[in-house]
Protein backbone atom coordinates (compact mmCIF):
# COMPACT_ATOMS: atom_id res chain seq x y z
CA UNK A 1 0.00 0.00 0.00
CA UNK A 2 1.38 3.46 -0.86
CA UNK A 3 2.19 5.96 1.90
CA UNK A 4 -0.58 8.33 0.77
CA UNK A 5 -3.30 5.69 0.80
CA UNK A 6 -2.03 4.30 4.10
CA UNK A 7 -2.23 7.77 5.67
CA UNK A 8 -5.71 8.31 4.21
CA UNK A 9 -6.85 4.93 5.54
CA UNK A 10 -5.50 5.69 9.05
CA UNK A 11 -7.18 9.09 9.04
CA UNK A 12 -10.55 7.58 8.08
CA UNK A 13 -10.15 4.75 10.63
CA UNK A 14 -9.41 7.18 13.46
CA UNK A 15 -12.37 9.40 12.57
CA UNK A 16 -14.66 6.34 12.39
CA UNK A 17 -13.52 4.94 15.77
CA UNK A 18 -13.71 8.38 17.43
CA UNK A 19 -17.25 8.89 16.17
CA UNK A 20 -18.23 5.42 17.41
CA UNK A 21 -16.80 6.04 20.89
CA UNK A 22 -18.44 9.49 21.10
CA UNK A 23 -21.95 8.30 20.21
CA UNK A 24 -21.64 5.27 22.50
CA UNK A 25 -20.58 7.54 25.39
CA UNK A 26 -23.44 10.01 24.74
CA UNK A 27 -25.91 7.08 24.80
CA UNK A 28 -25.43 6.69 28.56
CA UNK A 29 -26.60 10.28 29.21
CA UNK A 30 -29.86 9.88 27.22
CA UNK A 31 -30.43 6.40 28.65
CA UNK A 32 -30.16 7.74 32.18
CA UNK A 33 -32.66 10.58 31.52
CA UNK A 34 -34.95 8.10 29.77
CA UNK A 35 -34.93 5.76 32.81
CA UNK A 36 -35.53 8.70 35.14
CA UNK A 37 -38.65 9.80 33.21
CA UNK A 38 -40.01 6.23 33.14
CA UNK A 39 -39.40 5.86 36.87
CA UNK A 40 -41.15 9.19 37.61
CA UNK A 41 -44.12 8.18 35.46
CA UNK A 42 -44.45 4.78 37.10
CA UNK A 43 -44.37 6.44 40.52
CA UNK A 44 -47.49 8.51 39.73
CA UNK A 45 -51.19 7.68 39.71
CA UNK A 46 -52.68 5.37 38.44
CA UNK A 47 -49.53 3.41 37.59
CA UNK A 48 -48.21 3.18 41.16
CA UNK A 49 -51.16 1.05 42.33
CA UNK A 50 -49.70 -2.27 43.61
CA UNK A 51 -52.42 -4.13 41.70
CA UNK A 52 -50.76 -3.04 38.44
CA UNK A 53 -47.22 -4.15 39.37
CA UNK A 54 -46.97 -6.11 36.10
CA UNK A 55 -49.33 -4.29 33.72
CA UNK A 56 -48.15 -0.71 34.45
CA UNK A 57 -44.44 -1.24 33.59
CA UNK A 58 -45.35 -3.28 30.50
CA UNK A 59 -47.75 -0.53 29.38
CA UNK A 60 -45.03 2.06 30.02
CA UNK A 61 -42.53 0.01 28.01
CA UNK A 62 -45.07 -0.30 25.16
CA UNK A 63 -45.75 3.48 25.10
CA UNK A 64 -41.98 4.07 25.27
CA UNK A 65 -41.26 1.85 22.25
CA UNK A 66 -44.23 3.22 20.27
CA UNK A 67 -43.10 6.84 20.80
CA UNK A 68 -39.52 5.85 19.97
CA UNK A 69 -40.63 4.04 16.79
CA UNK A 70 -42.63 7.10 15.62
CA UNK A 71 -39.72 9.49 16.22
CA UNK A 72 -37.29 7.07 14.54
CA UNK A 73 -39.56 6.83 11.50
CA UNK A 74 -39.77 10.63 11.42
CA UNK A 75 -35.98 10.97 11.52
CA UNK A 76 -35.51 8.27 8.86
CA UNK A 77 -38.16 9.90 6.64
CA UNK A 78 -36.43 13.27 7.00
CA UNK A 79 -33.16 11.62 5.97
CA UNK A 80 -34.83 9.95 2.95
CA UNK A 81 -34.58 6.42 4.42
CA UNK A 82 -38.27 5.56 4.88
CA UNK A 83 -38.28 3.10 1.97
CA UNK A 84 -35.09 1.50 3.34
CA UNK A 85 -36.92 0.84 6.65
CA UNK A 86 -39.74 -1.10 5.00
CA UNK A 87 -37.27 -2.83 2.65
CA UNK A 88 -35.32 -3.96 5.72
CA UNK A 89 -38.46 -5.42 7.35
CA UNK A 90 -38.68 -7.87 4.42
CA UNK A 91 -34.94 -8.56 4.08
CA UNK A 92 -32.91 -11.49 5.38
CA UNK A 93 -30.58 -9.40 7.61
CA UNK A 94 -33.70 -7.62 8.91
CA UNK A 95 -34.80 -10.92 10.48
CA UNK A 96 -31.99 -10.55 13.03
CA UNK A 97 -33.42 -7.20 14.18
CA UNK A 98 -36.91 -8.72 14.37
CA UNK A 99 -35.51 -11.65 16.38
CA UNK A 100 -33.75 -9.13 18.69
CA UNK A 101 -37.08 -7.40 19.35
CA UNK A 102 -38.87 -10.72 19.94
CA UNK A 103 -36.20 -11.70 22.49
CA UNK A 104 -35.67 -8.28 24.10
CA UNK A 105 -39.29 -7.42 24.93
CA UNK A 106 -40.54 -10.62 26.60
CA UNK A 107 -37.27 -12.00 28.00
CA UNK A 108 -35.49 -8.71 28.81
CA UNK A 109 -38.27 -6.48 30.09
CA UNK A 110 -40.63 -9.31 31.13
CA UNK A 111 -37.87 -11.13 33.02
CA UNK A 112 -36.79 -7.91 34.71
CA UNK A 113 -40.31 -7.11 35.94
CA UNK A 114 -40.86 -10.62 37.27
CA UNK A 115 -37.45 -10.52 38.99
CA UNK A 116 -38.35 -7.19 40.62
CA UNK A 117 -41.66 -8.60 41.84
CA UNK A 118 -40.40 -11.98 43.04
CA UNK A 119 -36.90 -11.21 44.35
CA UNK A 120 -37.02 -7.44 44.89
CA UNK A 121 -34.69 -4.71 43.57
CA UNK A 122 -31.85 -5.72 45.94
CA UNK A 123 -31.28 -8.85 43.83
CA UNK A 124 -32.86 -7.88 40.50
CA UNK A 125 -30.89 -4.67 39.83
CA UNK A 126 -27.30 -5.88 40.47
CA UNK A 127 -27.90 -9.17 38.59
CA UNK A 128 -29.39 -7.49 35.52
CA UNK A 129 -26.40 -5.11 35.30
CA UNK A 130 -24.46 -8.20 34.17
CA UNK A 131 -25.97 -7.89 30.68
CA UNK A 132 -22.94 -6.15 29.06
CA UNK A 133 -20.64 -8.93 30.28
CA UNK A 134 -23.02 -11.60 28.94
CA UNK A 135 -23.30 -9.67 25.66
CA UNK A 136 -19.51 -9.58 25.36
CA UNK A 137 -19.36 -13.38 25.77
CA UNK A 138 -22.17 -13.87 23.20
CA UNK A 139 -20.47 -11.44 20.79
CA UNK A 140 -17.18 -13.31 21.22
CA UNK A 141 -18.84 -16.68 20.51
CA UNK A 142 -21.40 -15.81 17.82
CA UNK A 143 -19.91 -12.74 16.12
CA UNK A 144 -16.25 -13.70 16.71
CA UNK A 145 -15.68 -10.21 18.10
CA UNK A 146 -12.20 -9.30 19.22
CA UNK A 147 -12.08 -8.27 22.87
CA UNK A 148 -8.74 -6.77 23.90
CA UNK A 149 -7.46 -7.14 27.46
CA UNK A 150 -8.16 -3.47 28.20
CA UNK A 151 -11.70 -3.70 26.84
CA UNK A 152 -12.34 -6.81 28.96
CA UNK A 153 -10.96 -5.13 32.07
CA UNK A 154 -12.94 -1.94 31.37
CA UNK A 155 -16.11 -3.94 30.86
CA UNK A 156 -15.63 -5.76 34.17
CA UNK A 157 -15.03 -2.44 35.99
CA UNK A 158 -18.19 -0.91 34.41
CA UNK A 159 -20.35 -3.93 35.31
CA UNK A 160 -18.95 -4.09 38.87
CA UNK A 161 -19.44 -0.32 39.31
CA UNK A 162 -23.02 -0.43 38.02
CA UNK A 163 -23.77 -3.38 40.32
CA UNK A 164 -22.37 -1.47 43.32
CA UNK A 165 -24.46 1.60 42.43
CA UNK A 166 -27.68 -0.39 41.97
CA UNK A 167 -27.15 -2.59 45.06
CA UNK A 168 -29.92 -1.86 47.56
CA UNK A 169 -29.09 -1.47 51.25
CA UNK A 170 -29.48 -4.64 53.36
CA UNK A 171 -32.75 -3.35 54.84
CA UNK A 172 -34.36 -3.37 51.39
CA UNK A 173 -33.70 -7.05 50.79
CA UNK A 174 -37.12 -8.63 50.65
CA UNK A 175 -37.99 -12.01 52.11
CA UNK A 176 -39.89 -13.68 49.30
CA UNK A 177 -41.06 -17.29 49.05
CA UNK A 178 -40.14 -17.14 45.33
CA UNK A 179 -36.70 -15.60 45.86
CA UNK A 180 -34.77 -18.15 43.77
CA UNK A 181 -37.31 -17.98 40.95
CA UNK A 182 -36.95 -14.19 40.99
CA UNK A 183 -33.16 -14.47 40.83
CA UNK A 184 -33.51 -16.88 37.88
CA UNK A 185 -35.73 -14.31 36.10
CA UNK A 186 -33.10 -11.61 36.72
CA UNK A 187 -30.54 -13.79 34.88
CA UNK A 188 -33.09 -14.42 32.09
CA UNK A 189 -33.53 -10.62 31.75
CA UNK A 190 -29.77 -10.05 31.52
CA UNK A 191 -29.50 -12.82 28.93
CA UNK A 192 -32.48 -11.36 27.00
CA UNK A 193 -30.99 -7.86 26.81
CA UNK A 194 -27.57 -9.23 25.88
CA UNK A 195 -29.01 -11.48 23.16
CA UNK A 196 -31.07 -8.55 21.84
CA UNK A 197 -27.90 -6.47 21.40
CA UNK A 198 -26.00 -9.28 19.70
CA UNK A 199 -28.92 -10.06 17.32
CA UNK A 200 -29.17 -6.38 16.38
CA UNK A 201 -25.39 -6.16 15.88
CA UNK A 202 -25.52 -9.20 13.61
CA UNK A 203 -28.31 -7.63 11.52
CA UNK A 204 -26.39 -4.35 11.33
CA UNK A 205 -23.63 -6.06 9.33
CA UNK A 206 -25.91 -5.35 6.35
CA UNK A 207 -28.31 -2.73 7.73
CA UNK A 208 -27.65 0.86 8.72
CA UNK A 209 -27.98 1.34 12.54
CA UNK A 210 -30.79 3.96 12.39
CA UNK A 211 -32.81 1.74 10.08
CA UNK A 212 -32.14 -1.43 12.12
CA UNK A 213 -33.29 0.38 15.25
CA UNK A 214 -36.50 1.53 13.57
CA UNK A 215 -37.29 -2.07 12.57
CA UNK A 216 -36.58 -3.21 16.14
CA UNK A 217 -38.84 -0.50 17.62
CA UNK A 218 -41.75 -1.13 15.22
CA UNK A 219 -41.71 -4.86 15.97
CA UNK A 220 -41.28 -4.32 19.71
CA UNK A 221 -44.17 -1.79 19.90
CA UNK A 222 -46.42 -4.14 17.91
CA UNK A 223 -45.47 -7.04 20.20
CA UNK A 224 -46.31 -5.02 23.34
CA UNK A 225 -49.68 -3.70 22.11
CA UNK A 226 -50.85 -6.81 20.24
CA UNK A 227 -49.68 -9.52 22.64
CA UNK A 228 -47.87 -8.65 25.88
CA UNK A 229 -50.16 -5.88 27.24
CA UNK A 230 -53.42 -7.68 26.31
CA UNK A 231 -52.14 -10.87 28.02
CA UNK A 232 -51.20 -8.93 31.18
CA UNK A 233 -54.61 -7.17 31.12
CA UNK A 234 -56.45 -10.47 30.58
CA UNK A 235 -54.62 -11.91 33.57
CA UNK A 236 -55.97 -9.06 35.74
CA UNK A 237 -59.52 -9.60 34.38
CA UNK A 238 -59.29 -13.34 35.12
CA UNK A 239 -58.36 -12.46 38.69
CA UNK A 240 -61.60 -10.47 38.97
CA UNK A 241 -60.14 -6.96 38.63
CA UNK A 242 -61.89 -6.09 35.36
CA UNK A 243 -63.70 -3.00 36.70
CA UNK A 244 -60.50 -1.64 38.31
CA UNK A 245 -58.72 -2.16 35.01
CA UNK A 246 -61.34 -0.14 33.11
CA UNK A 247 -61.04 2.66 35.67
CA UNK A 248 -57.24 2.56 35.38
CA UNK A 249 -57.45 2.83 31.58
CA UNK A 250 -59.59 5.99 31.78
CA UNK A 251 -57.32 7.59 34.38
CA UNK A 252 -54.19 6.58 32.45
CA UNK A 253 -55.36 8.27 29.24
CA UNK A 254 -55.94 11.57 31.10
CA UNK A 255 -52.80 11.39 33.23
CA UNK A 256 -49.67 13.52 32.99
CA UNK A 257 -47.66 10.33 33.46
CA UNK A 258 -48.68 9.05 30.02
CA UNK A 259 -46.82 12.00 28.48
CA UNK A 260 -43.79 11.17 30.61
CA UNK A 261 -43.74 7.70 29.00
CA UNK A 262 -43.92 9.25 25.53
CA UNK A 263 -41.20 11.77 26.48
CA UNK A 264 -39.06 8.89 27.73
CA UNK A 265 -39.68 7.14 24.40
CA UNK A 266 -38.38 10.15 22.46
CA UNK A 267 -35.28 10.30 24.66
CA UNK A 268 -35.00 6.53 24.31
CA UNK A 269 -35.05 6.88 20.54
CA UNK A 270 -32.00 9.17 20.68
CA UNK A 271 -30.31 6.95 23.25
CA UNK A 272 -30.83 3.76 21.24
CA UNK A 273 -29.72 5.46 18.01
CA UNK A 274 -26.40 6.27 19.70
CA UNK A 275 -26.18 2.77 21.17
CA UNK A 276 -26.87 1.01 17.86
CA UNK A 277 -24.38 3.23 16.03
CA UNK A 278 -21.85 2.47 18.76
CA UNK A 279 -22.38 -1.30 18.54
CA UNK A 280 -21.94 -1.14 14.78
CA UNK A 281 -18.86 1.10 14.84
CA UNK A 282 -16.85 -0.01 17.89
CA UNK A 283 -18.31 -3.45 18.60
CA UNK A 284 -20.83 -4.88 21.04
CA UNK A 285 -18.51 -5.24 24.05
CA UNK A 286 -17.20 -1.65 24.01
CA UNK A 287 -20.60 -0.11 23.22
CA UNK A 288 -22.26 -2.13 26.00
CA UNK A 289 -19.61 -1.05 28.49
CA UNK A 290 -20.21 2.60 27.59
CA UNK A 291 -24.00 2.05 27.69
CA UNK A 292 -23.83 1.04 31.33
CA UNK A 293 -22.38 4.45 32.22
CA UNK A 294 -26.06 5.41 32.56
CA UNK A 295 -25.61 4.37 36.19
CA UNK A 296 -22.93 7.05 36.56
CA UNK A 297 -25.09 9.74 34.91
CA UNK A 298 -28.03 8.55 37.01
CA UNK A 299 -26.17 9.61 40.17
CA UNK A 300 -25.43 13.04 38.75
CA UNK A 301 -29.03 13.64 37.58
CA UNK A 302 -30.46 12.32 40.87
CA UNK A 303 -28.31 14.81 42.78
CA UNK A 304 -29.15 17.72 40.47
CA UNK A 305 -32.89 17.10 39.86
CA UNK A 306 -34.00 15.05 42.87
CA UNK A 307 -31.70 16.28 45.65
CA UNK A 308 -30.48 12.73 46.26
CA UNK A 309 -27.73 12.12 48.82
CA UNK A 310 -24.33 10.97 47.55
CA UNK A 311 -23.26 8.02 49.68
CA UNK A 312 -19.87 6.30 49.86
CA UNK A 313 -21.32 3.31 47.99
CA UNK A 314 -22.44 5.52 45.09
CA UNK A 315 -19.03 7.22 44.94
CA UNK A 316 -17.24 3.85 44.94
CA UNK A 317 -19.49 2.57 42.15
CA UNK A 318 -19.05 5.78 40.15
CA UNK A 319 -15.26 5.49 40.52
CA UNK A 320 -15.31 1.92 39.19
CA UNK A 321 -17.51 2.87 36.21
CA UNK A 322 -15.23 5.83 35.44
CA UNK A 323 -12.11 3.61 35.51
CA UNK A 324 -13.92 1.13 33.23
CA UNK A 325 -14.78 3.87 30.72
CA UNK A 326 -11.14 5.02 30.64
CA UNK A 327 -9.98 1.44 29.94
CA UNK A 328 -12.58 0.96 27.19
CA UNK A 329 -11.83 4.27 25.47
CA UNK A 330 -8.08 3.70 25.61
CA UNK A 331 -8.26 0.11 24.35
CA UNK A 332 -6.63 -0.35 20.98
CA UNK A 333 -7.71 -2.56 18.12
CA UNK A 334 -5.85 -3.50 14.96
CA UNK A 335 -7.20 -0.84 12.62
CA UNK A 336 -10.99 -0.71 12.75
CA UNK A 337 -11.55 -4.45 12.29
CA UNK A 338 -13.71 -5.70 15.16
CA UNK A 339 -14.04 -9.37 14.27
CA UNK A 340 -11.81 -12.40 13.78
CA UNK A 341 -11.96 -13.63 10.17
CA UNK A 342 -12.82 -17.29 9.49
CA UNK B 1 -28.56 -7.94 -9.20
CA UNK B 2 -31.97 -9.32 -10.03
CA UNK B 3 -34.12 -7.88 -7.26
CA UNK B 4 -32.36 -4.76 -5.96
CA UNK B 5 -35.36 -2.99 -4.35
CA UNK B 6 -35.77 -5.83 -1.83
CA UNK B 7 -32.16 -5.51 -0.71
CA UNK B 8 -30.84 -3.04 1.82
CA UNK B 9 -28.28 -0.56 0.50
CA UNK B 10 -25.51 -2.08 2.62
CA UNK B 11 -26.24 -5.58 1.34
CA UNK B 12 -26.38 -4.30 -2.22
CA UNK B 13 -22.93 -2.74 -1.79
CA UNK B 14 -21.69 -6.22 -0.87
CA UNK B 15 -23.55 -7.72 -3.87
CA UNK B 16 -21.92 -5.17 -6.17
CA UNK B 17 -18.43 -6.14 -4.95
CA UNK B 18 -19.06 -9.88 -5.56
CA UNK B 19 -17.40 -9.60 -8.98
CA UNK B 20 -14.05 -9.04 -7.23
CA UNK B 21 -13.30 -5.67 -8.83
CA UNK B 22 -11.98 -2.96 -6.46
CA UNK B 23 -14.21 0.10 -6.31
CA UNK B 24 -14.21 3.50 -4.62
CA UNK B 25 -17.19 4.86 -2.66
CA UNK B 26 -18.06 7.18 -5.55
CA UNK B 27 -18.02 4.33 -8.08
CA UNK B 28 -20.31 2.27 -5.84
CA UNK B 29 -22.69 5.21 -5.38
CA UNK B 30 -23.01 5.80 -9.11
CA UNK B 31 -23.52 2.05 -9.66
CA UNK B 32 -26.30 1.87 -7.09
CA UNK B 33 -28.06 5.17 -7.88
CA UNK B 34 -30.26 3.55 -10.55
CA UNK B 35 -31.58 0.98 -8.08
CA UNK B 36 -32.73 3.52 -5.51
CA UNK B 37 -34.16 6.40 -7.56
CA UNK B 38 -35.00 9.51 -5.56
CA UNK B 39 -33.55 8.17 -2.29
CA UNK B 40 -31.58 11.07 -0.85
CA UNK B 41 -29.56 8.96 1.60
CA UNK B 42 -27.53 7.42 -1.20
CA UNK B 43 -24.66 9.92 -1.38
CA UNK B 44 -20.88 9.33 -1.55
CA UNK B 45 -20.36 10.21 2.14
CA UNK B 46 -23.05 7.71 3.19
CA UNK B 47 -21.56 4.98 0.98
CA UNK B 48 -18.12 5.71 2.49
CA UNK B 49 -19.64 5.25 5.96
CA UNK B 50 -21.27 1.98 4.85
CA UNK B 51 -17.89 0.78 3.56
CA UNK B 52 -16.16 1.72 6.83
CA UNK B 53 -18.83 -0.19 8.78
CA UNK B 54 -18.53 -3.19 6.45
CA UNK B 55 -14.77 -3.06 6.94
CA UNK B 56 -15.16 -2.97 10.72
CA UNK B 57 -17.16 -6.21 10.68
CA UNK B 58 -14.76 -7.87 8.26
CA UNK B 59 -16.99 -7.98 5.15
CA UNK B 60 -14.84 -5.69 2.97
CA UNK B 61 -11.18 -4.78 3.04
CA UNK B 62 -8.99 -2.19 1.40
CA UNK B 63 -7.77 -3.16 -2.06
CA UNK B 64 -4.12 -2.78 -2.94
CA UNK B 65 -3.89 0.62 -4.68
CA UNK B 66 -0.87 -0.64 -6.66
CA UNK B 67 -3.45 -2.43 -8.85
CA UNK B 68 -4.85 0.88 -9.98
CA UNK B 69 -2.76 3.95 -9.15
CA UNK B 70 -4.93 6.27 -11.23
CA UNK B 71 -7.55 6.41 -8.46
CA UNK B 72 -7.17 9.14 -5.86
CA UNK B 73 -9.41 7.57 -3.22
CA UNK B 74 -9.38 4.27 -1.32
CA UNK B 75 -10.73 1.23 -3.13
CA UNK B 76 -12.54 -1.66 -1.47
CA UNK B 77 -13.00 -5.38 -2.22
CA UNK B 78 -14.86 -8.18 -0.43
CA UNK B 79 -12.88 -10.35 1.97
CA UNK B 80 -13.17 -14.14 1.58
CA UNK B 81 -15.38 -14.31 4.69
CA UNK B 82 -17.36 -11.28 3.49
CA UNK B 83 -18.05 -12.93 0.14
CA UNK B 84 -19.55 -15.96 1.89
CA UNK B 85 -21.63 -13.74 4.22
CA UNK B 86 -22.97 -11.60 1.36
CA UNK B 87 -23.91 -14.71 -0.63
CA UNK B 88 -25.62 -16.22 2.43
CA UNK B 89 -27.74 -13.09 2.87
CA UNK B 90 -28.63 -12.91 -0.83
CA UNK B 91 -30.04 -16.46 -0.92
**HSE-CB of A58 using CA atoms within 13 angstroms:** 23
In a domain? residue A72 = yes
Chain B residues whose CB is inside 8 A of the A338 CB are: 56-58
C-alpha B90/C-alpha A92 separation (Å) is: 8
**Neighbouring-strand partners of residue B77:** B61
Nearest CA of chain B to the CA of A19: how many Å?
11
Confidence at B66, pLDDT banded by 50, 70, 90 = low
CA–CA distance, A48 with A261 (Å, rounded to integer): 14
Considering only CB atoms, B56 lies closest to which of A79, A91, A281, namely A281
CA neighbor of A94 nearest in space, from B52, B8, B69? B8
- Give percent of chain B with pLDDT exceeding 90: 67
Distance CA(A18)–CA(B52), nearest Å, equals 13
- The pLDDT score that the predictor gives to residue A268 is 92
Q: Is A81 on the interface with B (CB under 8 A)?
A: yes
A12 in contact with B, Cβ within 8 Å:
yes
User: How many angstroms separate the CA atoms of B20 and A118, rounded?
Assistant: 57
Domain coordinates in residue numbering, chain B: 4-90
Residue A338 domain flag: no
Give A-chain residues touching B76 at CB under 8 angstroms. none
A10 located within any domain: no
Within-domain flag for A12: no
Asked if residue A175 belongs to a domain, the reply is yes
Q: Tell me the residues of B at the A interface, defined by beta carbons under 8 Å apart.
A: 5-11, 14, 36, 39-41, 48-50, 52-59, 62, 64-66, 69, 73-74, 79-81, 84-86, 89-91
Q: Is B74 within 8 Å of A93 when comparing Cβ atoms?
A: no
Single pTM value for the model: 0.90
Q: Are the beta carbons of A338 and B79 separated by less than 8 Å?
A: no
Cα of B67 vs its chain's centroid, Å: 18
Count the domains in chain A. Answer: 1
Q: Do B74 and A339 count as a contact with CB atoms less than 8 A apart?
A: no
> Measured between CB atoms, which of B48, B69, B89 is closest to A206?
B89
C-beta atoms of B81 and A341 within 8 A:
yes
CA A80 to chain centre: 27
Kindly tell me the sign of the dihedral angle through the C-alpha atoms of A224, A228, A234, A239: negative
B8: nearest CB among A87, A280, A338? A87
Domain holding A52, by residue range, is: 18-330
Q: Is A331 exposed, middle or buried (0-12, 13-18, 19+ CB in 10 A)?
A: buried
Q: What is the CATH topology of the domain spanning B4-90?
A: Arc Repressor Mutant, subunit A (1.10.10)
For residue A87, give the nearest of B5, B59, B66 by CB distance.
B5
Say if A263 falls within a structural domain: yes
Full pLDDT tens readout for chain A, 342 residues: 677 778 888 888 889 999 999 999 999 899 889 888 888 898 888 898 888 888 999 999 999 999 999 999 999 999 999 999 999 999 999 999 999 999 988 888 888 888 887 887 777 888 888 888 999 999 999 999 988 888 899 999 988 988 888 776 655 555 667 788 888 998 999 999 999 999 999 999 999 999 999 999 999 999 999 999 999 999 999 999 888 999 989 999 999 999 999 999 999 999 999 999 999 999 998 898 888 888 888 888 888 887 777 888 888 888 898 898 888 887 766 556 787 766
pLDDT at B32: 92
Please answer yes or no on whether A337 and B74 come within 8 Å at the CB atom.
no
CB-based contact A93 B65, cutoff 8 Å: no
Q: How far apart are CA A268 and CA A173, in angstroms?
A: 30
Quote the CA–CA distance of A330 and A309 in Å, as a whole number.
32
Rounded CA separation A237/A242 (Å): 4
CB contacts, 8 Å: A16 with chain B: 49, 52, 56
Which of A118 and B15 is assigned the larger pLDDT? B15
Q: Is residue A227 part of a domain?
A: yes
User: What pLDDT, on the 0 to 100 scale, is given for residue A172?
Assistant: 53
Q: Cα torsion for A238, A244, A249, A252, to the nearest 10°?
A: -130
Q: Do the chains contact at B10 and A88, CB–CB below 8 Å?
A: no
**Using a CB-CB distance cutoff of 8 angstroms, which residues of chain B are in contact with residue A12?**
48, 52, 74
Is residue A205 less than 8 Å (CB to CB) from chain B? yes
Interface contact A79-B41, CB threshold 8 A: yes
Q: How far is B30 from chain A (nearest CA, A)?
A: 17
Amino acid sequence: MTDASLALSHRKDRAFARKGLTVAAINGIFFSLDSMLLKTGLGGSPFCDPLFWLLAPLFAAGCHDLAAACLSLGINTAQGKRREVFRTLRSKPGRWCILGALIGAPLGMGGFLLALALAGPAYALPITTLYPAIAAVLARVFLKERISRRTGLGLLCCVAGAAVISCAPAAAVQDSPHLYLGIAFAFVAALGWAAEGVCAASGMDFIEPGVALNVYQLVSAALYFCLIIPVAAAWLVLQGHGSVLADMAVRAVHSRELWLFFGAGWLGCLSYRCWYMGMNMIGVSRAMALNITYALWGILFSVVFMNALVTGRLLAGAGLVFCGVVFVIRSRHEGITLRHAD
Amino acid sequence: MNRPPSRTVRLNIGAMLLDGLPRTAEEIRSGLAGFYPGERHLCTEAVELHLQALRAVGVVMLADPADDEARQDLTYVLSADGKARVQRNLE
